[in-house]
A and B are shown apart, each in its own frame.
Chain A
Amino acid sequence: MDLYPLFEWLDTSLLADISKAYGGTFAVIQMFHLMGMALMGGMVLVGDLRLLNILLRDLPSEMVIENTHKWFGVGLTIMIISGIFMSSAVAMKLYYNSMFAAKMAALATGIVFVYAIRKPLLAGDHTELNPWTLRIVAVTSIMIWFTVAASGRWIGFS
């Protein structure tokens, strides 16, 4: 499926008009994107390092996951909204950018992983789960979100 029409539409959308008309808008939105990344990444790390028994070992992992998940959602929402805006500013460039495609693939994998696997799996009592399951979930989560963040940064370099 060729996504060219989608990028073409984004390139001529109102969002693109705004970002192209006011030069500093892209930079300001990008700063929000970074703040969202810090919030989201921090929540991923605290939750996953707890599952790996590295951080907050004296707190129940269920409590840590519950508290971090909510703010993970806030960070992700900030990133997606600011990300759509940023994409509209350079839509046609991104269509040909392989790093952007890699980031979108990693992001889609991350969202499916969090909401279809990690959240339902960790909703119950963690002691009933195999400790290796918890470790694999944590390492997979860190790897996916690291890939999302790193490939995102490399869009600008490629």
Chain B
Amino acid sequence: MLNEILLSLARWLDSQSWSTQIHESIYLYSWIETTHVLSLMIFLGMLCVIDLRMLGWAFDKVPASTIANRLDKPMMIGFAIMLISGFLLYYAIPVRTTQSIWFRTKVILLILAGINAFLFRAKMQASASSWDLDPIPPKRIRVGAGLSLLLWSGVVITGRAIAYDWFDCRRELPYAMYWAAGCVDEMAAFQ
């Protein structure tokens, strides 16, 4: 049911002339993608600095909260650029992206990374006063930082993999893969 709704939405977006124009333009799509990739350096770069501090591997003489607070804004600017450019990339190729197992995994990892960031921030704000100056923060903070780096790496890796057509619906795949990718028509043909 959900797959049908997502596919209908994607087909509606695909029917819009702006979607086609971005997809078929010689330079616009490439520049949007370049912006999306380069803003990784702003978003993930800042995140790396924060998480490396939380792991005790960088800026160990600086209070952890100082690094987190000062880099929060540029990190969120990077995230906003990635989100906007990412939506435009989706808008340009909505049907194939909706039915990409990599895109679906990426969205799940994004949600998990968001939850981790929310919990991490809450944990940090509640306890930072007791370990803020410690070169190596407590284990629970280090685990949160490690998890954050892992999840965001997963987001980048699955994001890059969207470009590959290994598991596209048009290929011959096991039923479970069609289900996971939401290949509605192929699933119907299977049955």
- Interface flags, B7-40, vs A, CB<8A=1, else 0: 0000000000000000000000010011001101
- Interface flags, A34-72, vs B, CB<8A=1, else 0: 110111111111100100000110110001000110110
With A31-B160, A67-B58, A68-B49 as given contacts, are A55 and B71 in contact (CB-CB < 8 Å)?
Answer: yes
Number of B positions contacting A (CB below 8 A):
31
CA distance A37 to B45 in the complex (A): 9
CA distance A112 to B147 in the complex (A): 35
B170 at the interface (CB under 8 A from A): no
Q: What residues on B are CB-neighbors of A55 within 8 Å?
A: 70-71, 74
Q: What residues on A are CB-neighbors of B153 within 8 Å?
A: 35
A140 at the interface (CB under 8 A from B): no
A45 touches B58 (CB 8 A): no
B48 at the interface (CB under 8 A from A): yes
Q: What residues on B are CB-neighbors of A67 within 8 Å?
A: 58-59
A157 at the interface (CB under 8 A from B): yes
In the complex, the chain B residue whose C-beta lies closest to that of A27 is: B164
A18 at the interface (CB under 8 A from B): no
- Which among A85-93, A102-110, A145-153 touches the partner chain? A145-153
- Interface flags, A66-83, vs B, CB<8A=1, else 0: 011011000000000000
CA distance A56 to B62 in the complex (A): 11
A154 at the interface (CB under 8 A from B): yes
With A27-B160, A39-B48, A71-B52 as given contacts, are A45 and B42 in contact (CB-CB < 8 Å)?
Answer: yes
With A71-B48, A150-B34, A157-B30 as given contacts, are A37 and B41 in contact (CB-CB < 8 Å)?
Answer: yes
B156 touches A34 (CB 8 A): yes
With A27-B160, A35-B156, A38-B45 as given contacts, are A146 and B38 in contact (CB-CB < 8 Å)?
Answer: yes
Q: What residues on A are CB-neighbors of B40 within 8 Å?
A: 34, 37-38, 41
Closest 4 CB pairs of A and B: A42-B45, A41-B41, A38-B44, A31-B157
22 contacting pairs across A/B (C-beta < 8 A) = A27-B164, A31-B156, A31-B157, A37-B41, A38-B40, A38-B41, A41-B40, A41-B41, A42-B47, A43-B45, A44-B41, A45-B42, A46-B49, A49-B74, A55-B71, A56-B70, A59-B62, A59-B66, A68-B49, A71-B48, A149-B37, A154-B30
User: Which chain A residues have a beta carbon within 8 Å of chain B's beta carbons?
Assistant: 24, 27, 30-31, 34-35, 37-46, 49, 55-56, 58-59, 63, 67-68, 70-71, 146, 149-150, 153-154, 157
